[in-house]
């Protein structure tokens, strides 16, 4: 009889332990490991007017385009090309923050990048020139990469999204 009771107590302890340990971890402030994404998720995603249909990498800068701007545009091009067979699901957008006209040699270097004026695109924050953004195919602003982004980590984020997303 004691043997049967010990077995029953052991089975009950095994069944209850996950709930007890999970509750204790929650109240003690334990959090799971770091998120696997490099870019900062924007919560909640905000709709962006003028961008829809494909995954879109977006950069904001003046038409004069300094060295940091050129580096962002280069990274956007390389990140798109690194997607291989999924490259057609990604597009690049440069939003001009002024009324100037970009240099011809810069336009040749970023061939295939759509260029719009700031008035055509709504839904971004005031300091948008510091980052590269990602807009999903439904037109929602969903991710922001750091100012001096690591293109290798950007590639991994985008590969993961393209692998699991059915849209775009």
How many alpha carbons fall within 13 Å on the CB side of residue 140? 10
pLDDT per residue over 116-141, tens digit each?
988 787 766 656 788 999 999 999 99
Q: Are strands 55-61 and 132-135 parallel, antiparallel or unpaired?
A: antiparallel
Task: Please give the Cα distance from 101 to 72 (Å, whole number).
Answer: 18
Distance CA 135, CA 131 (A): 13
pTM over 0.75? The answer is yes
Q: What residues contact residue 168 under an 8 Å CB cut-off, 6+ apart? A: 53, 54, 55, 89, 136, 137, 162
What phi and psi values does residue 41 have, to the nearest 5 degrees? -70, 135
Reported as a pLDDT band with limits 50, 70 and 90, residue 64 is very high
For 40-164, the fitting CATH number among 3.40.30.10, 3.10.620.30, 3.20.20.410, 3.30.300.170 is 3.40.30.10
pLDDT (average), residues 47-71:
91
- Per-residue pLDDT tens digits for 90-103: 999 999 988 899 99
CB contact set of 53 (below 8 Å; sequence gap of 6+): 137, 168
pLDDT at 34: 65
- Could you give the percent of the chain with pLDDT greater than 70? 94
Phi-psi domain of 50 (left: phi exceeds 0; alpha: psi -120 through 50; beta: other) = left
Mean per-residue pLDDT over the chain, rounded = 88
The ranges assigned to domains in the chain are 1-33, 40-164
Residue with tokens 């922001």: 144
Over residues 140-159, the pLDDT tens digits come to 999 999 989 999 999 999 99
């Amino acid at each position: 009889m004691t043997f049967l009771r010990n077995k029953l107590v052991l089975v009950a302890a095994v069944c209850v332990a996950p709930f007890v340990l999970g509750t204790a971890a929650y109240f003690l402030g334990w959090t799971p490991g770091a998120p696997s994404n490099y870019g900062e998720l924007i919560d909640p995603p905000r709709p962006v007017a003028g961008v829809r249909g494909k995954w879109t990498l977006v950069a904001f800068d003046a038409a004069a385009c300094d060295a940091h701007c050129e580096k962002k545009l280069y990274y956007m091009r390389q990140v798109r090309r690194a997607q291989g067979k999924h490259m057609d699901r990604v597009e690049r957008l440069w939003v001009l923050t002024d009324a100037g006209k970009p240099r011809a040699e810069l336009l040749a270097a970023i061939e295939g990048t759509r260029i719009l004026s700031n008035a055509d695109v709504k839904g971004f924050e005031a300091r948008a020139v510091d980052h590269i953004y990602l807009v999903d195919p439904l037109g929602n602003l969903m991710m922001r990469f750091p100012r001096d982004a690591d293109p290798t980590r950007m590639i991994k984020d985008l590969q993961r999204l393209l692998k699991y997303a059915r849209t775009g």
